[in-house]
Chain A
Amino acid sequence: MLKRILPHPLLSLSLVVTWLLLVNSLSLNSLVFAILVALLIPQATRAYWPDLPRVRHPIKILGYGLLVMHDIIKANIDVALIVLFKRRADLRPAWICVPLEIRSPEAITALAATITLTPGTVSCDLAQDGHAILVHCLHAPDPNAVRDDIKARYESRLKEIFA
């Protein structure tokens, strides 16, 4: 019954928070409208997202978010330094292929977004069977080190979060 009304509880919760941030006030009528939005939108989109993502440790998402935020700032400084001071001839762009151990679509999406937001890497494509991800590096003298870093730093954490 609860699953009928709330197919995606986390989506509904984030919709309530987003709506309250959007109207920028915490009054009763905006809360009612937020709940209305949070009930209707998951219903309208449930056909496109039939399965619930299986999250094992919701608390660890917070820690992961902080780690990614820290890495985004570091990434920006790194990329800014490369753009400003690295000579074109010294730049070593590389394509690398990161084999994946995580399988759930939500985990792969999170990993791809993290890769794009963090130091000098952009995720570009997924293997057809979903077992590898194609990553472009801005400056990678040692592509294998970048691959191992992605696997150790992000993928292992995502594997703990998503079942």
Chain B
Amino acid sequence: MNHDLPLWADLAVSLFLVLGAVFGLVGSWGLIRLPDPMTRLHAPTKATTLGIGGVLIASMLLTFARDGVVSTHELLITLFLVLTSPITALFIGKVHLHLRQDRSALPRPATGAGWAGYTAEGPARGVRESTRSSTPPAGEAPRTSD
């Protein structure tokens, strides 16, 4: 399938494939090796994104070298993964906070308000409203001394 590829394209595609594969493997290895759920969250969300990025760059290079056209589907997949991986990480972190994390181990916000995931009202929906009015929002607790 790659008899007509120039040497530079062959080498570049191979390089990106190997780089991407190594990062993907490291991300999954981190998922096994790191000691607790919150640290485990770090490895896959980052390393795997770059791993798949490497594979997609290799694929783009290959299409370009073989057919002379730029395929944009790879760009779209990369963009989509980069946009969604912070959201999944945030959700998984929230699940961990919600189910297991010892709340006294968390630092408190300086304003004295609680973290949104732990308050009965849920996440802060009215951030923009609170910036428009000059008075502090009604739910804000006074600053505590500790």
A residues contacting B by CB (< 8 A) are 18, 20-22, 24, 51, 72-73, 75-76, 79-80, 83-84, 88, 91, 93, 95-97, 99, 103-105, 108, 112-113, 116-117, 120, 122-132, 134, 136, 138
Could you give, for residues 110-146 of chain B, a 1 whenever the CB lies within 8 Å of some chain A CB and a 0 otherwise? Answer: 1101111101010110011011000011011000000
Asked, given contacts A83-B29, A105-B127, A126-B124, whether A117 binds B90 with beta carbons under 8 Å apart, the answer is: no
Contact yes or no, B127 A113, CB < 8 A: no
Residues of A within 8 A of B30 (CB): 79, 83
Instruction: Give bound CA distance, A124 to B98, whole Å.
Output: 11
Within 8 A of A (CB), among B71-108: 71-73, 75-76, 82-83, 85-87, 89-90, 93-94, 97, 105-108
From residue A55, how far is it (CB to closest CB) to chain B in Å? 15
- The interface on chain B, measured as residues whose beta carbon lies within 8 A of the other chain's beta carbons, has a size of 58
Complex contact A134–B127 (CB within 8 A): no
Is B89 in contact with A128, judged by CB distance below 8 angstroms? Answer: no
Contact at A130–B127, with CB atoms within 8 Å? yes
What is the interface of chain B, defined by CB distance below 8 A to chain A? 23, 26-27, 29-30, 33-36, 38-39, 41-43, 45-47, 49-50, 71-73, 75-76, 82-83, 85-87, 89-90, 93-94, 97, 105-111, 113-117, 119, 121, 123-124, 127-128, 130-131, 136-137, 139-140
- Chain B residue numbers with a CB within 8 Å of A20 are 72
Q: Pick the contact of B124: A72, A83, A112, A129 (CB < 8 A).
A: A129
Question: Is B137 within 8 A of A129, CB to CB?
Answer: yes
